[in-house]
């Protein structure tokens, strides 16, 4: 029997951030290490998703390869059997299945997506691609029958839509058509988390750290100079309460820093709070976080520099050929179900 699948991806629409690392890359690497041999790991770059909002297209191809390097630097072992890396646009079934799924998703459902609302707010023009983003994401997941999809909290609503869509189509066509990915709580349990990870901007801690919003002082890029990144942490926005507590409603800046310390130092939040809760030394707290960020970036960037691009190219070629077959087989099944092909 084939192994259950863990699948994740990160768009190449900008430079990756500490939020991407802590919310998606590190969890995937940890899951892979924890379940070596039991699961298949699909790590792909959703390059077609990368221009739902405007980007510099000159950078797209290079960004895709650089992101793959960063995934490997974050601990993803690409030499492990049953680990596949691929680019979405190299497997045409993603785009073809999207069209079919489009006809089973409702306009109202997509209109309710928070990410669509946030990203389209105050924009002069909004692409249909931005609206349709979750359906392409559904195709990414359903083509391979992924059970676990480690993503940050911001993707929760999209994942729930994927489940609704899979259940709806299974009900209409065949209960075996799609493997329905696990519900959010099960995803968290599997990743060993109590709640979803959402790293905030250091300057605007009410907002998530993002790679597409220009917020240089609030964003730690994985390519940032380590000393400059430490300075950003030292000047992070906090509050005037004067006492350290973990509460994102009243102290989002401080809570964000506590969360970063916990994730980077691999200590539980309780352990971190045991040291800091009630303390009045915001400066010392920042100092600890700044040191961790600096050391992490030095190590991470060193790893990135050692990864040979030619090995990535070879692996992509092999894995994309293998995944194309899997995706085409599922697409054919769907085409048969909806009447496009003879059963």
Is 195 known to be catalytic? no
Is 211 known to be catalytic? yes
CB neighbourhood size of 305 (10 A)? 9
Residue 332 gets the label, from left (phi > 0), alpha (psi -120 to 50) or beta, of alpha
Residue 46 makes contact with ligand AQP by CB under 6 A: yes
CB 338, min distance to ligand AQP, A: 27
Among 5, 7, 24, 142, binds ligand AQP (CB under 6 A): 24
Alpha-carbon distance 52 to 183, whole Å? Answer: 26
User: Among candidates 14, 8, 13, 138, which has minimal Cα distance to 74?
Assistant: 8
Number of chain residues interacting with ligand AQP (CB under 6 A)? 26
**Residues 194-253 within binding reach of ligand AQP (CB under 6 A):** 197-199, 208-213
Among 5, 7, 10, 29, binds ligand AQP (CB under 6 A): 10
**Toward ligand AQP, which CB reaches closer, 217 or 340?**
217
x/- track of binding to ligand AQP for residues 135-154 (CB under 6 A): ----------------xx-x
Alpha-carbon distance 113 to 128, whole Å? Answer: 14
Q: Active-site residue among 69, 117, 203, 211?
A: 211
Q: Active-site residue among 208, 232, 286, 330?
A: 208
The token pair at 287 is 């100092």
C-alpha triplet 244, 248, 253: angle, nearest 5°: 60
**Residues 49-78 within binding reach of ligand AQP (CB under 6 A):** 49
CB 297, min distance to ligand AQP, A: 16
x/- track of binding to ligand AQP for residues 250-269 (CB under 6 A): --------------------
**Toward ligand AQP, which CB reaches closer, 97 or 169?**
97
User: Among candidates 217, 229, 235, 232, which has minimal Cα distance to 294?
Assistant: 229
Alpha-carbon distance 54 to 107, whole Å? Answer: 23
User: Among candidates 165, 152, 151, 53, which has minimal Cα distance to 109?
Assistant: 165
CB 10, min distance to ligand AQP, A: 4
72 Cβ contact partners less than 8 Å away, ≥ 6 residues apart: 78, 303, 307, 312
Counting every residue written for the chain, the total comes to 343
The token pair at 336 is 């048969």
CB 275, min distance to ligand AQP, A: 23
Is 232 known to be catalytic? no
Sign of the torsion angle spanned by Cα atoms 298, 218, 211, 35:
positive
Among 5, 15, 23, 181, binds ligand AQP (CB under 6 A): 23
Query: Which residue is nearest to ligand AQP, using beta carbons?
Result: 23
The token pair at 24 is 């998606």
Q: Which residues in this chain contact ligand AQP in the complex, by CB under 6 A?
A: 9-11, 13-14, 17, 19-20, 22-24, 46, 49, 151-152, 154-155, 197-199, 208-213
**Residues marked as catalytic:** 119, 208, 211
């Amino acid at each position: 029997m084939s192994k259950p699948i863990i699948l994740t991806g990160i768009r190449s629409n900008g430079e990756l951030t500490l939020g991407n690392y802590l919310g998606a890359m590190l969890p995937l690497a940890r899951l892979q290490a924890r379940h070596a041999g039991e699961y298949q790991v699909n790590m792909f770059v959703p390059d077609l998703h990368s221009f739902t909002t405007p980007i510099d297209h000159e950078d797209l191809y290079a960004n895709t390869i650089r992101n793959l390097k960063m995934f490997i630097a974050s601990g993803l072992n690409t030499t492990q059997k049953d680990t596949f890396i691929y680019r979405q646009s190299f497997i045409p079934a993603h785009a073809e299945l999207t069209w079919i799924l489009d006809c089973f998703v409702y306009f109202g459902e997509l209109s309710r997506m928070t990410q669509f609302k946030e990203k389209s707010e105050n924009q002069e023009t909004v692409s249909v691609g931005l609206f349709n983003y979750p359906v392409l994401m559904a195709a990414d997941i359903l083509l391979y029958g992924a059970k676990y999809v480690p993503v940050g909290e911001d993707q929760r609503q999209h994942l729930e839509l994927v489940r609704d869509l899979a259940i709806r189509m299974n009900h209409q066509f065949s209960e075996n058509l799609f493997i329905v990915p696990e519900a959010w709580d099960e995803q968290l349990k599997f990743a060993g988390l109590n709640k979803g990870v959402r790293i905030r901007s250091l300057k605007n801690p009410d907002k998530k750290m993002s790679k597409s919003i220009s917020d240089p002082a609030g964003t730690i890029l994985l390519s940032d100079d380590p000393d400059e990144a430490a300075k950003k942490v030292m000047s992070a926005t906090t509050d005037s309460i004067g006492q350290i507590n973990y509460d994102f409603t009243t102290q989002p800046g401080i809570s964000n820093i506590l969360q970063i310390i916990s994730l980077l130092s691999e200590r539980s939040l309780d352990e971190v709070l045991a040291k800091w809760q009630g303390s009045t030394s915001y400066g010392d707290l920042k100092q600890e976080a700044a040191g961790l960020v600096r050391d992490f970036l030095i190590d991470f960037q060193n790893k990135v520099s050692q990864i040979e691009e030619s090995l990535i190219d070879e692996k992509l070629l092999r894995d994309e050929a293998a995944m194309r077959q899997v995706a085409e087989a599922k697409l054919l099944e769907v085409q048969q179900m909806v009447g496009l092909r003879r059963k």
